[in-house]
Structure 1
């Protein structure tokens, strides 16, 4: 088992090349591999894995096949932290015996596992080494397929290889100053489940969460991500908006924050502001300000 730590940014169609072009000219960057990835996700008819907040896939990359099990994990300062089990397999079929090595092996009926959806995309890797961290940046462009439907997939992922985890946020902020991005807490697997009609609907309260361990920034980001997934308006009920505005002001994003919130509060759907740089800059600025406050910087 390994632990994965990454920040994922969703992009509007056509922005991938702009993001990739900027990344490649950075002095800390080295162009990595480009490959086509075909990913088939499995679950039971009652979505047993999804209910346990896990995702199981077999990925084809050229003539190699890799079986992966991931937990949904937790959200920490903009990054997803997840447990991950990964095994090479001889072909596209699941190896059920490997699941017995994981905590989920005894909680589902593996005989009922079947394909549910696919996420198929081209990935260009850019390695970043700034002396404080080594980061694998993946620029993904493709589609999610389920039940005869397709949903576009345009993302940039920053995954920590080694070093200071806070550099993930630093690089995400740098990119957000170059092109519009959306800090997205919704994984590719969650998008696939939603397209397949197997992702449970959530109320605004559930999307925002009332866990005492989560602060208003986490709840704010979760509400935005849920509205993005479900393509609906955002409700800010239950959030301390003056506190969030003060945080945005502290990181130099006060005017941008007020502009975005005014539009969304007036009933504009989230999709209407995704192409503007202010949204992603506000999201990442709020997180950076919190990190600085917690570190005493």
Structure 2
């Protein structure tokens, strides 16, 4: 078992190209391989893995096949921290026996696992190296497929390979100052489950910090296309906190005004760098 720490940013295809061009000329950045990845996700008809916040997939990259089990994990300082198991396979068929020894294997009827959706994309890699850390930057472009349903996929992932985890946010902030991006808490697997009609992310509980609730609410609104009541209430609550700087309160007021006017989160994220910068600024509070 390994632990994965990453920041995921969603953006438009044009912004993805801008991001790649900007990153490529930074000090300590080198180009890695390009791969076409075909990912098939499995669950039971009742969605038992999804209810446990677990994703199970078989990935094909050329003539290599990898079975992966991931937990949803937790959101900490802008990054996702997850547990992850990986096993090499001889082909595309799921190996149920490999899952039996994990915590998931004790609670799910593994014989009921079936393909549910796919996330298929081209991945380009840049390695970002400094004295403090080594970060893998994956630029993914493709689609999420569930039956006849399709959703475009365009993401940039920053994953810590070695060193100081704070460097992930440093890179994200530098990128957001230049390119319109969206800090996204919705995984590829969650997008697939939503497209398949099996699951929609729900608001975080009241025990969560208001900032986390706002960031998660923005991700839900990005996925669904509209802001729910919970997000608007959390934005109002956050605006009323006196500890926030005046400029940040002003940005929150702008965001709520635009959402009230009917703008979507995706439109706001693509239109300028303001929303992405606001999201990352909120992580300090």
What does residue 232 of structure 2 align with?
A: 236
- Which residue of 274, 277, 283 maps to 2:273? 277
Q: What's the offset of the Cα at 1:201?
A: 5.9
Unaligned runs of 5+ in 2: none
Once the two structures are superposed, residues 92-119 of structure 1 have per-residue CA deviations (whole angstroms, 9 ceiling, x without a partner) of 0001110012100121111111110000
1:183/1:29 CA distance change after superposition, 3 Å: same
**Distance (whole Å) between structure 1 residues aligned to residue 45 and residue 225 of structure 2:** 25
Match for residue 213 of structure 2 among 187, 197, 219: 219
Equivalent position to 2:206, from 188, 207, 210: 210
Q: In structure 1, what is the Cα distance between the partners aligned to 2:75 and 2:265?
A: 21
Q: C-alpha deviations, 1:36-79, integer Å up to 9, x for none?
A: 00000001111110011000000001100000000001000111
So what's the TM-score if we normalise by structure 1?
0.90
Cα separation, 2, equivalents of 1:74 and 1:282? 21
* Displacement after TM superposition at 1:255 (Å): 4.4
> Are 1:83 and 2:77 matched, yes or no?
no
Rounded Cα–Cα distance in structure 1 between residues aligned with 2:155 and 2:249: 26
Cα distance in 1 between the residues matched to 2:119 and 2:175:
24
Q: State the TM-score, normalized to the length of structure 2.
A: 0.94
Residues 67, 201 of structure 1: alpha-carbon distance in 2 compared, 3 angstrom cutoff: closer
Offset at residue 262 of structure 1 (A): 1.9
Give 3-state SS (helix, strand or coil) of 2:32's partner. strand
**Mapping 1:186-201, distance limit 5 Å:** 186-200=186-200
Tell me how far apart the structure 2 counterparts of residues 140 and 150 of structure 1 sit (CA, whole Å). Answer: 16
Q: Which runs of 5+ in 1 are unaligned?
A: 291-297
Distance in 1 (CA, whole Å) between partners of 2:156 and 2:268 is 19
Structure 2 CA distance, aligned partners of 1:244 and 1:191? 32
Which residue of structure 1 lines up, in the alignment, with residue 96 of structure 2?
96
- The 5-angstrom pairing of residues 121-270 of structure 1 reads 121-200=121-200, 202=202, 207-211=203-207, 214-234=208-228, 235-239=231-235, 240-243=237-240, 247=244, 249=246, 253=248, 255-270=250-265
Following superposition, the deviation at residue 233 of structure 1 comes to 2.4
- Deviation string 1:254-297 (CA, Å, 9 cap, x unpaired) is 5444322321133332233121210000001111x23xxxxxxx
The equivalent of 2:112 in structure 1 is: 112
* Cα 1:208–1:51 shift into 2, 3 Å: closer
Show CA shifts across 1:229-265 (max 9, x none): 111124321452325685354xx65544432232113
**What is the rounded CA distance, in whole Å, between the counterparts of 2:27 and 2:13 in structure 1?**
26
Over 3 Å counting, the alpha-carbon distance change for 1:215 and 1:221 in structure 2 is: same
The SS at the match of 2:254 is helix
The 1:179–1:244 alpha-carbon spacing in structure 2 relative to 1, beyond 3 Å, is farther
**In structure 1, how many angstroms separate the alpha carbons of the residues matched to 2:244 and 2:144?**
35
CA distance in 2 between counterparts of 1:222 and 1:264 reads 15
Residue aligning to 1:286? 282
Do the aligned partners of 1:257 and 1:278 also contact (CA within 8 Å) in 2?
Answer: no
Between the aligned partners of 2:245 and 2:63, the Cα distance in structure 1 is: 48
